[in-house]
Amino acid sequence: MLSCDNAPPVTIVLDPGDDLVHTRAALAAHAPGDGRLTVHPTPGTDSVLALAYDVLAALDKPVPLTGYRRLDTAPAWTLAAAWILAARTRNLILLRAHFLTPHRLRALLQLRHRTGLWVTLVSHTRHLPAPVERALAGVPHHMAEATALLPAADPPAAMPWLSIPGRPLANRWINLPALTTFTALDCATRPCRCTAPMAADRDFFPPVMPPVTEAEVAHRLHRATAHPHLAAELATAAFTAASTTQLATAHVRDLAPDASTLTLHDDGLRQGCMTHHVPLWARPLLLAAAFVWRIASETQGPLFTDPLGSTGLPCLTDFAESCKLRPPQPPRPTRRKGSRVPAKPSETIWPVSPAHYALSWAMREPDLMHGCPHPPPHTRRTIAAHKRGWPPPYFGQRSLRPPR
């Protein structure tokens, strides 16, 4: 069970006047990307689950959670701790702390014990409420002045939209060539504990996303779900071009402690076992999936499964489509001139590509690309040939190949 034995003391701030300046300062300190959270509890409830949802919402995760029993609080707090550890969140400010019931405060202190957070409780009273004081009896804590800890926040800029970076790909479908090889027909391989070489040493180079696409994919995956194993698996497929069979071989032990590398195994059907570099945007997702296993279980199970036993979650292809991520699709049919019938959105096609298979039988399989373009070259030789003009436009589409 993951825990922090030397958690910092709890800071208590008394703000009897409920000064708007101090509240604005606390809200202005909220910056999940910089390791600071400000949680404003949902009013009118004393539910422990609602407080866990408030923490997850502060982490930009969608709530309420799906896949668990409706009133089970353990999964929500476990996922909150995993995301906090993965994002390296250091500080948590909780407003309206004088409304905390003992069981809610105990759950918050348990989160502090798991993650080592600096917890600041802002109580809008002259004296610390008796239930809160009793709950903190055995916990190191100290008092702080509101004027010192929560100074006046800077006034907002005159034109704040100029400082916010745009998202040119927002609300648009993104076709990722790496997902062309996602679907596989073979079964999962046996567990492997080898020391795999790097993908470049195996002469394998997955498709590289442009920086704008990478930023948009990261933005969507970090906010699409509170289940880390779903976001981590789709992120891994995006930067490794791995199939479902290869992704199923990844265990917690295959992820580096800092999530800089991830090893995927193979039973000789493709290029063999190889280790991939994990881009910076995907590391918190993989770390969160690993932390869920370390918090909920002492075993190191499959990285892209949920040790909390969630049920009814969408399959990965449906999750990718909900994020508007998909493999490159066939060209759209030409619309007849003068037709007023609106074009219906076509269903996403997930092809089965044998491009990365090493065995000859895979190349003789029926064409299951359904008109989708084949994945880009993935070896030094094929990449160099591609730069010289290979393959021809009809490569991979048997119906367009010239007769022999």
Question: pLDDT-derived band of residue 155, with 50, 70 and 90 as boundaries?
Answer: low
Which is nearest to 207 in space by CA: 238, 169, 230? Answer: 238
pLDDT greater than 90 at residue 228:
yes
Cα separation of 296 and 321, whole Å?
29
- Residue % of the chain over a pLDDT of 70: 86
Q: What is the pLDDT of residues 126-145, one digit of tens each?
A: 888 888 888 888 888 888 87
Q: Residue 231 carries which side chain, given as an amino acid letter? A: A
* Preceding peptide of 257 cis, ω within 30°: no
More confident residue, 189 or 226: 226
CA distance to 160, 291, 314, per residue, from 64 (Å): 31, 21, 15
Residues forming beta bridges with residue 46, ordered by sequence position: none
- Structure token pair of residue 288: 């969160």
Given this model, what pLDDT does residue 342 score? 57
**Sign of the C-alpha dihedral computed for residues 239, 242, 248 and 251 taken in this order:** negative
Determine whether 187 is exposed, middle or buried from the number of CB atoms within 10 Å of its CB (0-12, 13-18, 19+): exposed
> Is residue 272 within 8 Å of 236, Cβ to Cβ?
no
Q: Report the predicted TM-score, pTM, of the whole model to 2 decimal places.
A: 0.88
**pLDDT one-digit tens code per residue, 37-85:** 999 999 888 899 999 999 999 999 999 999 999 889 999 999 999 999 9
Quote the pLDDT of residue 144. 80
Domains and CATH numbers, the chain: 10-149 (3.40.50.300), 174-329+349-387 (no CATH)
Tokens 């489509």 belong to residue = 321
Structure confidence by residue, pLDDT tens digits, 341-395: 555 667 899 998 888 877 644 555 556 888 888 888 888 888 888 777 766 554 4
DSSP element (H, E) containing 368: none
Reply yes or no on whether the pLDDT at 404 is more than 60: no
> pLDDT at position 354, please?
80
What is the four-CA torsion angle of 367, 370, 371, 373, rounded to 10 degrees? -70
Examine residue 75 and say whether the peptide bond preceding it is cis (omega within 30 degrees of 0): no
Q: Which carries the bigger pLDDT value, residue 327 or residue 335?
A: 327
| pLDDT of 169 above 90 | no
Q: Which helix (H) or strand (E) holds 51?
A: helix 48-58
Q: Is 256 a residue whose pLDDT tops 90? A: yes
Percent of the chain topping pLDDT 90: 50
Of residues 314 and 185, the one with the higher pLDDT is 314
pLDDT of residue 160: 43
What is the full DSSP assignment across 263-311?
Answer: EE--SSSSS--EEEEPPGGGHHHHHHHHHHHHHH-SS--BTTS-TT---
Mean pLDDT of 260-266: 93
Helix (H) or strand (E) holding 37: strand 36-39
The answer on pLDDT for 224 being more than 50 is yes
Cα distances from 306 to residues 228, 312, 313, 319, in angstroms, run: 9, 12, 10, 15
Q: State the Cα–Cα distance between residues 153 and 295, nearest whole angstrom.
A: 36
181 to 71, 255, 271, 353, 369: CA distances (angstroms): 39, 22, 13, 5, 10
Specify the higher pLDDT residue, 287 or 3.
287
Average pLDDT over residues 267-280: 87
Mean pLDDT of the chain: 85
